[in-house]
Amino acid sequence: MSEAIFGQVVTAMVTPFDVNGRVDPHAAAQLVTYLLDNGSDGIVVSGTTGESPTLTHEEKLNLFRLVKETAGPRGKVIAGTGGNDTASSIALTRKAAEIGVDGALLVVPYYNKPSQEGLYRHFRAIAESVPELPCMLYNVPPRTSQNMEAATTSRLAHDVPNIVAVKEASGNLMQCAEIFRTAPADFALYSGDDGMTLPMLSVGGVGVVSVTAHLVGNDIKAMHTAFFSHRLEEAARLNAKMLPLVRACFQPTTPSPAPVKAALNLLGHNVGGLRLPLVECNEKERDVVRTALVEYGLL
């Protein structure tokens, strides 16, 4: 098994906002501490769950700095610096590296739909601009409209030394297995979909970049421990127990992170609302979240 370079359980952290829709640094620092106290080995800052499309570069850099200072040596901090403009992504990634983050998360470019060769050149250019910073690729076709094929991921992993991991949210286990088969032995395959984490571990995954770890990080960590200790039935039971929460956090009528923010607010972690064009859960969607929390024993 390849090393989980960023840890097994990495939480894709929400960005807390105050009542005026501004980033709330105090709430962010509190959330970082809570996550590291409850199962998280690392934190992704300004990823999809952190509402990266509506954060300015200045807000992102301030968050990178705050989270890194708060986490200290307790957990890895991975900065979401990728976008669909290569030059802009390079500039942001270089600034994040100067702050001292532990890694960069580079999403497949959205909207402009580059070819596989375009994806290769895009990611290579960003990673080579920060040769000392480990980079995690992020393949999420439902949000980007473009799938990065296993051959492209593997090619990047072989050709660019600091491309060390991929967050795979394609939902395609055969593609994930192909990455594991063809990438270097030390290349780390992470699940980018909470509901697919256990199956992905079975085809070579080392961990998860998780949304529901905001709520049940310790149980997600316990599932990994059970799996890698060959206690497969225990891992399966833990996975099954968490599925209703996963469904509540990924409802078909409202995109993440609206449900997990609703859950955190219900649990007393005041992370605020969302920035348009995302909107908060309606009452029916919030009831789904509340019911899942109550049934799990969290509320």
79 pairs with which residues across the strands?
45, 104
Q: How far apart are CA 21 and CA 272, in angstroms?
A: 8
- pLDDT level of residue 65 (50, 70, 90 thresholds): very high
Question: What pLDDT is attached to residue 79?
Answer: 98
Averaged pLDDT, 40-56: 98
Q: In the predicted model, what is the mean pLDDT of residues 160-165? A: 98
Cα-based torsion angle of the residue sequence 260, 37, 231, 196 in order, rounded to the nearest 10 degrees: 30
User: What is the token pair recorded at 186?
Assistant: 């030390």
User: pLDDT class for 286, splitting at 50, 70, 90?
Assistant: very high
- pLDDT score recorded for residue 3: 73
- Percent of the chain residues past pLDDT 70, beyond the cut: 99
What's the rounded mean pLDDT across residues 161-188? Answer: 98
Active site residues: 138, 167
9-231 has CATH 3.40.225.10 classification: no
- The proportion of the chain whose per-residue pLDDT surpasses 90, expressed as a percent, equals 99
Q: Is the pLDDT of residue 1 over 70?
A: no
Residue pLDDT, tens place only, 37-46: 999 999 999 9
The rounded distance, in Å, linking the Cα atoms of 197 and 216 is 14
Q: What integer best gives the mean pLDDT of the chain?
A: 97
φ and ψ at 118, to 5 degrees? -65, -40
Mean pLDDT of 256-278: 98
- Residue 143 pLDDT exceeds 90: yes
Average pLDDT, integer, range 253-280: 98
The answer on pLDDT for 271 being more than 90 is: yes
Residues in the chain: 299
- Interval 281-298 mean pLDDT: 98
| Rounded (5°) CA angle 24-190-54 | 30
Query: HEC states along the chain?
Result: CCCCCCCCEEEECCCCECCCCCECHHHHHHHHHHHHHCCCCEEEECCCCCCHHHCCHHHHHHHHHHHHHHHHHHCEEEEECCCCCHHHHHHHHHHHHHHCCCEEEEECCCCCCCCHHHHHHHHHHHHHHCCCCCEEEEECHHHHCCCCCHHHHHHHHHHCCCEEEEEECCCCHHHHHHHHHHCCCCCEEEECCHHHHHHHHHCCCCEEEECCHHHHHHHHHHHHHHHHCCCHHHHHHHHHHHHHHHHHHCCCCCCCCHHHHHHHHHCCCCCCCCCCCCCCCCHHHHHHHHHHHHHHCCC
pLDDT at 210 over 90: yes
User: Hey, where are the domains in the chain?
Assistant: 9-231
pLDDT at 4: 86
Q: Is 2's pLDDT higher than 70?
A: no
Among the listed residues 277, 260, 202, the one whose alpha carbon sits nearest the alpha carbon of residue 16? 260
pTM of the full structure: 0.97
Contacts of 297 (CB under 8 A, 6+ apart): none
